[in-house]
Amino acid sequence: MITESSVRAQLPYTLRQVDLPALGQLYRGKVRDNYSHGDRIVMITTDRVSAFDHVLGTIPFKGELLSRLTLFWFDKVKDIAPTHLLSSPDPSVMVVKRAQALPVEIVIRGYITGSLWRDYQAGTAGAYGIDWPAGLKKDQRFEQPIITPSTKAQYGKHDVPISEAEILCQGLVESGVWREATNVAHRLFQRGQEWAASQGLILVDTKYEMGIADGKLVVIDEIHTPDSSRYWVADSYQERFAGGLEQEMLDKENIRQWLIREHGFSGQGQPPPLSDDVRVMLATKYMEVFERLTGQAFESEVGSVEARIRKNLAAAKYL
């Protein structure tokens, strides 16, 4: 069983990056090192953590937690939409079929919080083409989930809010594909919210990436992880909302709030280094949401993530 002392022991062994040119052509994103060869991509989820478009450092066991949660969710939603998954030769690795990714992220929100709340307060939330009502309160639940898309920026650049009308006007996504993608997003989000609720959590918002493979729309990347989604503890939501208090968060927003609160950093200039205490804190939050969603204790081994990945990829004949 992984304890806080185990998390601290893992700090020197976190995976910042992995260089395996034999796997194919490398694309290094904020979190994943993707090696492509033909129509196959080996996606290695590192322990890197990013916020406000900056890579900040590494979090113990993060890559494994994200990959294992994605596999859990891919299985849970397989009746809604196909995914690009082929196999998982290591807890931090997914081998996937190459897809032509849609050039927008489908962000779907059940509550107004985070960056949307900050934009709403600043009067800049109109970029989504939505006429937001006056008088909304932080963390307030929407009557129906709302899609707020964004463009997909290259590493080091900012995602940009965009409206559905602009997506279609610019021809970024064909209208029929967009209708299918947003329909799938609503169904995925409903499934995610229902399961989270059964486990005492609120799936607040999330982002989906989708693409076209073999002429079909598929879900790609990750799904319903604490990196791509926001989770709150359900029992305390109403009381904290009524009192104007921060929600109990089990996701990456903990790092964002630490950066804003402790360092006044929200993306401008050089980010501060992460303390070991903050790295351990986020790892334990991710472990808690993993265990609550899956109903399983998180088990792993302290030691070199890279050595384990190399060993498992070699055993599976990828190296």
Predicted pLDDT at 104: 96
Binned at pLDDT 50, 70 and 90, residue 80 comes out as very high
What is the arithmetic mean of pLDDT over 136-156? Answer: 88
Separation between Cα atoms, residue 260 and residue 266, nearest integer Å: 6
What is the arithmetic mean of pLDDT over 2-24? Answer: 96
Determine the 3-state secondary structure of 207 from DSSP: strand
What is the arithmetic mean of pLDDT over 152-164? Answer: 74
What is the arithmetic mean of pLDDT over 2-31? Answer: 96
Separation between Cα atoms, residue 29 and residue 46, nearest integer Å: 10
Q: Quick one: tokens of 297?
A: 């204790």
| pLDDT at 227 exceeding the cut of 90 | yes
Q: What is the pTM of this model?
A: 0.94
Q: Mind listing the domains of the chain with CATH numbers?
A: 4-99+271-315 (3.30.200.20), 101-242 (3.30.470.20)
Binned at pLDDT 50, 70 and 90, residue 2 comes out as confident
What is the arithmetic mean of pLDDT over 268-283? Answer: 93
Predicted pLDDT at 158: 63
Separation between Cα atoms, residue 283 and residue 215, nearest integer Å: 38
Task: Provide the mean pLDDT of the chain.
Answer: 95
Predicted pLDDT at 153: 64
What is the arithmetic mean of pLDDT over 171-193? Answer: 98
- Phi, psi (5° rounding) for residue 298? -80, 120
DSSP for 162-179 reads: --HHHHHHTTSS-HHHHH
pLDDT tens for residues 302-314?
999 999 999 999 9
What is the arithmetic mean of pLDDT over 205-213? Answer: 97
Element (H, E) at 15: none
One-letter-per-residue 3-state SS of 279-304 = HHHHHHHHHHHHHHHHCCCCCCCCCC
| pLDDT at 157 exceeding the cut of 60 | no
- 12 DSSP 8-state letter: G
Burial class (CB in 10 A: 0-12, 13-18, 19+), 149: buried
Q: Look at residues 88, 135, 140 and name the one whose alpha carbon lies nearest to residue 114.
A: 140
Predicted pLDDT at 81: 95
Helices (DSSP H) in 199-299: which residue ranges? 237-242, 253-263, 276-294
Determine the 3-state secondary structure of 313 from DSSP: helix
What is the arithmetic mean of pLDDT over 236-241? Answer: 98
Q: What is the largest distance, in Å, between two alpha-carbon atoms of the chain?
A: 58
Predicted pLDDT at 154: 59
Determine the 3-state secondary structure of 255 from DSSP: helix
Determine the 3-state secondary structure of 73 from DSSP: helix
